[in-house]
Amino acid sequence: MKTRHHCCFFGSLLIFLAACASSGPPVTENQTGGTILFVNKSSFTVHIVRGSGRIDVVTLAPSSSAEVPNEHGTVENYYPLFDIPITRTFSISKASPLERDNYFQIDNTKNYQEIEIAAPKGFNDNSAYILFTNNSKGGGVSLSRNEAAGYMTGINFPDGKFNVNEGETMLYRVNPQELQSLRINPINLVFGEIAYQPSFVYSFTFDGNEAFPIEARPLTAIGQNAPVALEFTGYQLSPQNRTIIANGLRDALQSWGTPLELSDNTGPGYLLTLFININQIPPAPPLNTTLLRAEAEIVFSCFGRMMAKSGRYSVTELNEAMVARFVSEQIQWDRAFFADVMEAIE
């Protein structure tokens, strides 16, 4: 009889343990509740939207990141849209990349996923953009396309504004296939006779007498530093001493916060020209050695037009390398010159 009672007891225990083991929720590989980390590696503000309905998910400032919950049980497509800052106060909003496959397919098979977003190779935008600044002192002007009589209206002002007052900058959206030139009214000045391309921004400034180009930049390069070339004139410095000055200038452009970056490109556009003159001074007491007397200055220009000029840097040194180091230091300390450069660019 004791054996029988023991068998009943162990049988009941096994049934109880089996029931406990099967009473919890079923375990599956694809559970929702994970996290997606979006990391913005571009210089643009990025809007992440989801699905065919383009549902807003999160907005990322340049070089920022954000976590969002992965709450969907199936594969979802996430699309990056980009804000392109053309002026300080106006951006082209939510531009889509040119590549059709520029999206992220995310499912819920992983509890944590990190997605890096880089700037696209191009934008799906067939328009060209004209950025026109009126730096004249003669009052407001307006622009017309080609030989048309009508006035162009800007997209960075409300209510179809067409008059560009002194000190104002107007942004226009145009069809590059239909634009051959621009005309300033009421002085009937024709300018900008170039081959326009889609997804480019063309910047011009008007000084009251002439309208001249500043730069032509693809939308993908907006927000990046503009290339500026460096040339030397006058005394022929050695390559090593040119490098000393170039490195000092590169550091100065960065430390003074200018939106420029030294480039090997010597084509039209932004240019820094260093004029340097070095003369030998015959030996004389108390050193009784030959010295070098140097004078230098630097000029910032755009398409051949001078926009800023430094003061004169003067020094007497023992050799060319010491002259180069002095000039490099003087450029880096020249707050007034780089303030003028910034004002000219803006």
Joined together, the tokens standing for residue 126 give 């067939």
Q: Using one digit for the tens of pLDDT, what is the confidence trace for 252-266?
A: 999 999 989 998 765
Residue 198 confidence (pLDDT): 95
- Domain boundaries in the chain? 34-117, 128-221, 226-345
* Fold (CATH) for 34-117: Immunoglobulin-like (2.60.40)
**What predicted TM-score, i.e. pTM, was given to this entire model?**
0.73
Q: DSSP assignment, residue 97?
A: B
* Strand 182-185, strand 260-263: pairing: unpaired
Q: Tens digit of pLDDT per residue, the chain (346 long)?
A: 444 444 444 444 444 434 443 333 333 344 456 899 999 999 999 999 998 888 999 999 999 999 999 887 788 999 999 999 998 889 999 999 999 889 999 987 888 999 999 999 999 999 999 999 998 988 899 999 998 888 999 999 988 899 999 989 999 999 999 999 999 999 999 999 999 999 999 999 998 999 988 888 899 989 888 889 999 999 999 999 999 999 999 999 999 999 899 987 655 678 999 999 999 998 878 777 889 999 999 999 987 888 899 999 999 999 999 999 999 999 999 999 999 999 887 7
Among 345, 341, 346, which residue's Cα sits nearest to residue 255? 341
Residue 33 confidence (pLDDT): 64
Joined together, the tokens standing for residue 69 give 């919950």
- With b meaning 16 or more CB within 10 Å and e meaning fewer, what string describes 194-216? eebebbbbbbbbbeeeebebbbe
Q: DSSP assignment, residue 285?
A: T
Q: Using one digit for the tens of pLDDT, what is the confidence trace for 285-305?
A: 877 788 999 999 999 998 788
CA dist 294 and 280 (Å) reads 9
Residue 283 confidence (pLDDT): 84
Q: Which long-range contacts (CB under 8 A, 24 or more apart) does 279-288 make?
A: 281/316
State the virtual CA torsion across 180, 186, 187, 189 in degrees, nearest 10. Answer: -10
User: What class, spelled out in words, does domain 226-345 have in CATH?
Assistant: alpha beta
Residue 110 confidence (pLDDT): 84
CA dist 74 and 56 (Å) reads 18
Joined together, the tokens standing for residue 165 give 């007052």
Phi, psi angles (nearest 5°) of residue 338:
-75, -25
Q: Which residues does 201 contact at the CB level (< 8 Å), separation at least 6? A: 86, 128, 129, 130, 131, 216, 217, 218, 219, 222
